[in-house]
Amino acid sequence: MTDVIQHKAYARIGLLGNPSDVYYGNTISISITNFWASVKLEPSEHLIVKPHHFHDLVEFDSLNHLVNRLETEGFYGGVRLLMAICKIFYKYCKNNLIDLHERNFTLSYDTNIPRQTGLSGSSAIVCAALNCMLDFYKIRHLVRVEERPNLILDAEKELGIVAGLQDRVAQVYGGVVFMDFGKTHMEKLGHGIYSPMDISLLPPLYLIYAENPSDSGKVHSTVRKRWLDGDDFIRSTMKEVANLAVEGRQVLLQKDYAKLASLMNHNFDLRSMFGDDALGEMNLKMVEIAREVGAASKFTGSGGAVVAFCPAGPLQVELLQEACEKAGFIIQPVQVASSFLNDMDLGNSSST
């Protein structure tokens, strides 16, 4: 009997360059251990996907309870994510002539990644499940590291989730990763060029988010369509966003943290192309609070949470903490994850 397999995948922060990952750009992203999703795979007679006792709730005390629940937690839990990655995984293996044994399993999950915070909660569940199946079928050496983020994204696309590769790369690789999504290699290879960086290059960062976000997830607005239509302003602005990550890579290597603060602020300022209505009042407030005490700040993703850096040091951090608490926002020191890649993963990576 195969042992129980369990994997975690962590929330991620887009430090620089987002959202250019879906526009052939560049990003620097960080996997953080503040929040995680965990998936457990247990051998079983039948293939079972277990609902979560909280996130997939189907029994309620009353109609009022059901409605309140839907308004705060939405309609969907993680079961659909697990089923989607099972489908994508199976089809990938079949298309690539990878033989799978016929033993069955039960998948279950847990997560503490806050909803609607732009911290990649959905993809974390999918990533953890993919890792479980790679180990259960003993085919980790047959699925290249660079291809795994694509499988995660394909599973989410099955469910109509609109996203880019950045989050999934960060969750597969761990640590800090510079990502180049240039059109040439995206079209030739089907994925970007991913370069892990030393996590010790990062200064102390802080995560700010609202416990009950109400207006996140609307950020992409009409920008995608305008970019596809060749809008000069959108295309040039998105290229400028992408270049911030390229410059930021060198800035981190030099530990020029004053310049890093400037790049973070500029990254957010360029989001003006989306318009304030799309960005959301609560999201803008989090950024403003950080800036009022002189901290650099930007969205971690598409909205719902902010990453902040206090270049002036501990006293500035105290001011930021006080301001966040006064406004009702939660603030935490960012805990950066180490790289997740083992020797087998590194051995089958084309980047090594």
Catalytic residue check, 167: yes
3-state secondary structure of 333: strand
Query: CA 114 from chain center: how many Å?
Result: 12
Which of 38, 15, 165 is CA-nearest to residue 110? 38
Q: What is the largest CA-CA distance in the chain?
A: 60
Question: Strands 296-299 and 305-309: what pairing?
Answer: antiparallel
**CB-side exposure of 105: number of CA atoms within 13 Å?**
25
Give the whole-angstrom CA distance, residue 131 versus residue 6: 9
Give the whole-angstrom CA distance, residue 233 versus residue 273: 8
Backbone region of residue 255 per phi and psi (left: phi > 0; alpha: psi in -120 to 50; beta: other values): left
Pick the catalytic residue from 167, 180, 215, 345: 167
Amino acid code (one letter) for 208: I
Q: Is 45 exposed, middle or buried (0-12, 13-18, 19+ CB in 10 A)?
A: exposed
Residue with tokens 């790049």, as numbered in its chain: 263
3-state secondary structure of 76: coil
Which of 80, 177, 175 is CA-nearest to residue 129? 80
**CB-side exposure of 143: number of CA atoms within 13 Å?**
27
Residue 70 token pair:
């839907």
Could you tell me if 76 and 115 are in contact, meaning their C-beta atoms sit under 8 angstroms apart?
Answer: no
- Catalytically active residues are 167
